[in-house]
Structures are given as structure tokens and as C-alpha cells.
Structure 1
Amino acid sequence: MKDSGNSFHARHLKRALDYVMNPEKTQGGRLVGAINCQADMAFEQMMDTKKQFGKTDKRQGYHIILSFKEDEVEPDRAFEITQKFVAEYLGDAYEAVFVVHDNTDHVHSHIVFNSVSFVDGKKYRYEKGDWAKYIQPITNKLCQEYGLSIIDVEDGSKEKQHENYKDWSEYREGSFVWADMIKRDLDACILQANDFSGFLELLSEKGYEVKQGKYLAVRPQGMTRFRRCKTLGENYSQEAIVERIAKEDLSFYQSQNEEKQAAIVKCYVKRYRRAKMSGLQKRYYAKLYRIGKLKKKPYSQVWKYRDDIRKMHKLQEQYLFLVRHKIESAEELVSVLDNLTDKKKEASKEKSKTYKAKERFKDIFDKAEQIRELDDAESCYQSGDTFFEDEHNAWERLNTELLAQGYSVEEVESLRKKYESKYAQDCKAERAVSKELSLGRSIWKELTVSASAEEKQYDKETIRDRKEQPIR
């Protein structure tokens, strides 16, 4: 959150705090928490910290959002995870407010924290790659503890991770549709064009608006903004397009994609040249185009029906829910919802039971983990390297303590896998019931809304009929 100017430096910070703590999104303020400050006085305390260290201008604060998969976590559990994340990542130095919003299909949490440390006055600094290096590993660790989905950040470079996030963001916003369609049309025009001006004419005929400046940008019909071609990939910058026009044609693509096959020794092909239009014919077709008899081939209109497709999928899921549970009336729907609610409570209880049982063995699990970490050092010591004598002594002590408790390292590992497998199964069962319950509640909500609308319509018609009756 940047500086808003001399009149009110922290305007963006104030608005962010007001937004995230909205009672309508946080169950009346129940899902609001804070660390190193009081939630209802957070802005004032953050400003006091800035004034104390003379840093009231420039960057005012930061905003982190933790988002969970749909129907995967309850708001209270999300609040607990967020609280642990804030304590581990910011608890030693920064004032922060954290909340959970459950007013959307995806439960998510917001974290707004001061840019100035209340400990030493140093400003928080986010470096490129900190997400993969510090932030995501903490959320992954916490989500694994609760049996939730994680994002793997170990594979690929930082740049690749950034690209993956960008792709996901574009997918969420729907712009992935445009990117694929634009690249398809650019490839087609490159293939057909003889030069760059011909390429631009072909794009215009397809309904594109073209903007040439420092970068080549295009905008198809229905898209609100221009899209720079170079953002679609290195093969779509203006320089790359000019090079591709010069070397790419049908024979080029065929040579790139063809597989080695048996050669045809003889082939007789009778070729016919396409007849060219005369000057009179060209003028005639130009006139037809001007008066509207000929139209450009319309651009794809699929994007208009995206919401309808989503509604169709939702209706299909609701229909299959009714079929699965053999529901034929509102009373039967209520009965099924009650049954699913009980099942969800049972699944949550079973998951909690498994988690607590696993926690009882935490001590031996930790010892086995420490032994595994010292295995390499122990191997070196056994080979005659006395440098690792301290590690050897620690390894011996941990093994002795573990055997005194009645377990070997192999038995502990088997026990750990057993509980992790059981907990994962319990989480999966809970998610399945939660998803089914959420689907049933959405049907019930639509029924009650439609019934209320019908009652209002009936009341209006009744009043109108009474007014229209003659007075006797």
C-alpha cells in the first residue's frame, strides 16, 4: 500500500483495514484477530509506530491473502491456520490484523500489516522470490499439518514460479481464453501474409484493432483492453513476427510436423490456378461490401456464453445431487441436509480423533526425525571420521531413548505412515461430505429465494385485484 500524498499518507492502509474487518464478511467480527496490536485500534497504533520512528511517508503497509480450495476448509480452521502463519512470519516485529472472509465460495483470509517494525523501526522489504523462499513454505507446512492442499515451489526456477502464478491469475480472470485465441489468429495471419503490412490487414479483416507504438498491441472484438503481442511469448514480438512471416508458410509447417514415412516414387497431380478477378469484378465486390451486402467473417462470440456455461454446470451438479439422494420434495431435501450435517460432524470428529492420536506420538516422531538427520554423520563416524563424534553421541542417545520407549526407528516410521494415511483419508471424507452439503444448501437457498419471490408477487397481485374491484 503506497503513500497517498501529504494530505493523508496512510489513506490506503486505513481503507484496507476497514475493508478486511467488515462485519458482514467476518461473521459480525468473530473472525477478526490481531498480533502486536488491538484490532479495533490497529490503525492508530500503526500510525503511532510510524511517528515514533519518523517514517510516516512512502510505503505504508502490506496486504497478504491466503486462499483455500472451495469447500476444503471451515472458516474457524482457516482462522487458526492464518493466526499461526502471522505469528511465525510477522510476530516478532510487525503489527498485523488478520481476518477470515467466508462470504464467497472460497474461504480466504486477509493479512494487513504495518510497513514499519515496532521493535527497531526498520521497514519491511519484500524481495523478488520471497514468496517461494519464505511465505509459501510456511503455508505449505501449516496446510500439511491440517491435511489441506499445498502448492509445490521446489520444482523450477523463481522465474518459472512467477510464470505459474501469472498463468493461474490469468486463468482465474478468464484472460486465458483470449491468449489462446489471439495466438491462434496471429499464427494464421503469419502463415498467410507475404509481408508485415499484409499481416496487419489480415488481422483487421478478422475484426482486430491494431495499435503500433513502442510495442505491437492488438484487441479483438469483445475484449476491453489491448494486449501486447510480446506478452504472449517470445515468438510474438514484432521482430519475431516479421522474421516468421519471411520464413513460415505451409511447406514450413509441414516440414516441422511431418514424420518420416515411405516416399512416393510417382505422383501425378493436375494443378489448377485460381482464377483472378477482373477490374470490373473487383469494383463490383467492393461496392457490395460498402453497401453492406458482404460482411466480414464475425469473430468468435464464445466469450459471451461463459456465465451461461457455468450456470449449466451448476444446474447439472444440483440435478445429480437430487438423483443421488432420490429427493422428490422439499421435505426430503431437508431430511437429507440434516443427515449430511450429522455425517459432516462425524467426519470432523473422526479427523480430530486421528489428529489427537497422532499428536500423542509427537515425541517419538521428533526423535526418529532427528535420528534420520544424523544418519549421514553416523555413517561417516563409523567409517573412521572422528570429526562427527558429537553427532555420533547424539545419535546413540536418541536411539537409546527411543528403544527405552519400546520402538525402533523402523517401527516409528511405519507408525507415522499409518497415521498420515488415516488422517489423509479422514480429511478426504470430510471434504466430500462438506462439498455434498454445500451443494444441497445451495439448492435449498434457491428454493427459499424463489418461494419468497412468488409470495411477494402473489401479494402484489392480490392487492391489485382488490383495488380493481368496484365499490358496492
Structure 2
Amino acid sequence: MAITKILNIQESDGRNPASHLKNALEYIQNPDKTEECVLVGSINCLPDTAFEQMEETKNIFHKTGKRQGYHVIISFSPEEKVTAEQAMYVLEHFAKDVLSDDYEAVYAVHTDREHMHGHLIWNSVSMTTGKKYNSPKSNWKNHLQPITNKYCDELGLSIMPAEYSRNPKNISRDKWEKEMSMKEIILRDAKMCAYAAGNVEHFKYLMKRLGYVFKKDAWMEVQAPGFRYYHKLAKLDEMFSEDMLRHYVDMPWMAKPYFYSSDIRGLHRAKLSPFQKKFYAKLYRLRIVEQKRFVVGGAKYTEDLKRFHQLQDEYLLIVNNDIKSVVDLVDFINEQEEKIQQIEDRQKEIYRESSSRKRSIKNEEQYREYQIWHMEVQEELDELKQEKKGIKRQIQLADDIIKEDLYTAYYAVSGNEEIVADR
């Protein structure tokens, strides 16, 4: 998903009325933010001389005052792991779609923050007609955001609330937000069924028992009960791509953690240690909440459902890593912290080498060699960053497990209420 924002670049109070425009162009082309200007592009001008060309256009048509240009920011969701190439694709096509051959513009993708985002700046004066670009209040809702949505959709990315589009098939913002909030529940249900399934057909059977509908002639696109849209499971998690899912569920000899669900029948619990059973019991007692996740008025179960999901993650960590006691858990945390230290050492090593290579650049050929090396090593840095993020998540879960071990969830179901298994 990408959110589009448009800003006006106003006239400067200084000697040069276009100085704000100049500063904005320099900012978006910052080498430290754009992989040494690799992620910079333009239309109807050259990035290095864009300001001079824009200024000349203003002088030709005698429109040097008032509004100097426009600045669009397209921010991508960090959850979708958008690549720099995908961001450049959206930005470039957005610029061509909006501005055509009429306005000089420079665009750039910044990778210096956790979420990928791009900038587009264009001249307020048309180079072909001399007219100033008009951006009414409804421009973002009716024109700009739908264009971003179009190119995000081409790449398989989610889109902004559909009420901002002219497409009459779209739904309201409230319904859209409800659809998006379902993604986490759908993913958790799919993972639960994948862990329990013996093969792909069994996985589909278990998902259907939970009420999901599969789209015909499509790989693992599911529709939740009472909802409108189908969601691609592989887009929610790569483990549901055809190759990976078949590899995973068609390996019956693998030890898989057990989940209790009233709709999943004929499963047998693996041998668990007393420590693991404690967390399994907490999940068991909260399964009534899980059953009601689709019902009308189910919002009152939100906090309990969050607790169910938290316990599910904790139980998975314990079983997948064969943690049978608090001592094992502490050892696991120490191992993960050592892994983080190794990752950070490697990151520092790359940064030092990058700094050294930069200082030794003497000519254009050496600069090109540095750029090639930097692009190669950036892939490793991205992988290290993702790996580190995953390990930190595991450490946080392990810390939560230690706290959970001191807490009881038995209040979720009263002591007098009988829990009856579906079978």
C-alpha cells in the first residue's frame, strides 16, 4: 500500500523567489538517501540541471512569482517489504501519468528510513503552454491517489481505501478498514491449518472447515466468511507460495506443533513437556474466543483475541525450538543475542569498508566501481536487517513467555463452565 501526499512549494521571500524549489530539488537528490543518486530519475529535464531548466521556463513565460512547484511524497507500507525497484516503478509511471510532456520533474526514492518512500517535484509552469498546474482540493482524492493505486495494483501491492477512487465497484473506507483488519486473522488461520495439514488438499479442507472460500483457478486465494475480497495467501506470507507450501505440508515425518480448534478434527496432540503443556492449556481455554472471531458484534472479543494470538505465537516458539523449561528459554535468548551481535559486527564491517572505499575515490571510473560494489553489498545489508528484525521479535516473544509463565489465563473460562471438544 502506498499513500500519496501533495505539498505546494511557495515563493521565497529572498532575492530568488524560486530558492525553496531549488532546496527541495537538492534535498530529494541527496546521495546518502538515494543510494548515491542511483535511485534518481526525471522527465522533460536532466536531474543535474533541473532547477536551471525550470527557472528558464518560468522566465520565458514571465511567471517567476507566486507558487513555484509541487512536491508529491509517496510512502509505502513497511509491512509489504517494497523494493527500491518497485518504488521507482510506481514513482516513474506516476510522474508520466500526471505530467505527460508538459512539466519538468525530478523524482527519487529514499531508502534511509524503515519504510520505503519516494519524492516527486515538478515545475509549476508548463514548458509547452506556459500555464500553471492547477491542483484543486479534490485533486488528491479523484486523481492522484487513484493513479498511485493503479500502479501499486499492477505490482500486486495493496491499495488505499477505495472511497478515494472513481471506480464505482469500490467500497467505503469503513468496510475497507474492516477488510484490511482481517488479513492478520486470515494469516493466522492459514498458518494454523498449514501446521496441522498432512498435504495441500488437507490444508484446503481445514481452511474450508473454518469457513473460508477458495477462488476457482487461482493458487490459494481465500475469502473470509461474510467478507467481499479474496486475499492471496502467498502475498500475506511467502510460505504459502506453491513451491514452499507443497514442500512444507507434504513432509509428514516433520514434527509439527499441535493447535486446538473446534473446527479441525481428528488431530492428535504431540508429546509435550509440562512447560509446553502449560501454554497449550491456555490456548485451549481461549479457543471459545477464537470460534467467535467472525460473528456479528465480535468486536467485544478484540482484546481476548489479541491475547489468543499472543499465546499462539508464544506456544509456537516454545514447540518449534523444543524449549521445555525456563532454563532452555534463557539459553535460547542468549543464543539469539549472540546472533544479533554477529549481524551487527558484519554490518559495521560493511559500513567501514564503504567509508574506506568512498575516501579512496579519485576519478569517475573508481566512482562507478564503488557504485557497483555498493549495489551488491546493499542486498546483503537488507538481508541482515530483516534477519536482525526477526531475531529481535523472537527475543521479545521469549521475554513475554517468561512473564506469561508467572500469569494464569484460566479466568478466560469460568471454573464451572465445561469445555467440550468438538469430537
Structures share fold, TM-score greater than 0.5: no
Higher relative helix content: 1
- Please give the range of the TM-score, normalised by the shorter of the 2 chains: 0.3 to 0.5
Structure 2-normalised TM-score? Answer: 0.40
Q: Tell which structure's C-alpha radius of gyration is larger.
A: 1
